[in-house]
């Protein structure tokens, strides 16, 4: 029973790594995009030798968009990971409880027949 329960729980937890990785790395991808956008703004300032909003705005917009995309991926992934992790813990408890009860019933029946 324990082997089967472990196999079943392993199968249900298989994709939790994807959620955990997405939740932890997406903010850094967004940060990289932010740095990239700001670098583009500085390059535009260097090329045009002008600091007007028209020169800086495209790079800043790119930076803000990258940050938003990183957060848009990370926040739902972390929330889903936490929810699913809690649900899997409850499920594991129920499976273990069932296995214990089932083994106790089998044990009693075997004692009655002996």
Q: Residue by residue, what is the 3-state secondary structure of the chain?
A: CHHHHHHHHHHHCCCHHHHHHHHHHHHHHHHHHHHHHHHHHHHHHHHHCCCCHHHHHHHHHHHHHHHHHHHHHHHHHHHHHHHHHHHHHHHHHHHHHHHHHHHHHHHHHHHHHC
Cβ neighbors of 35 (< 8 A, separation 6 or more) are 63
pLDDT recorded at residue 5: 84
Q: Is the dihedral of CA 42, 44, 45, 49 positive or negative?
A: positive
Residues 53-80 pLDDT 10s: 999 999 999 999 999 999 999 999 999 9
pLDDT recorded at residue 86: 96
Separation CA 63–CA 75 (nearest Å): 18
Model pTM? 0.76
Residues 3-49 pLDDT 10s: 888 888 888 888 899 999 999 999 999 999 999 999 999 999 999 99
């Amino acid at each position: 029973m324990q082997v089967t329960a472990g196999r079943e729980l392993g199968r249900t937890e298989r994709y939790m790594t994807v959620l955990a990785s997405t939740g932890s790395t997406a903010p850094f991808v967004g940060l990289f995009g932010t740095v990239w956008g700001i670098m583009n703004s500085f390059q535009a300032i260097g090329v045009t030798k002008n600091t007007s909003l028209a020169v800086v705005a495209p790079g800043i917009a790119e930076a803000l968009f990258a940050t938003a995309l990183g957060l848009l991926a990370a926040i739902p992934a972390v929330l889903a990971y936490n929810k699913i992790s809690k649900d899997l813990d409850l499920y594991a408890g129920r499976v273990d409880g069932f296995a214990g009860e089932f083994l106790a019933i089998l044990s009693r029946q075997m004692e009655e027949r002996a």
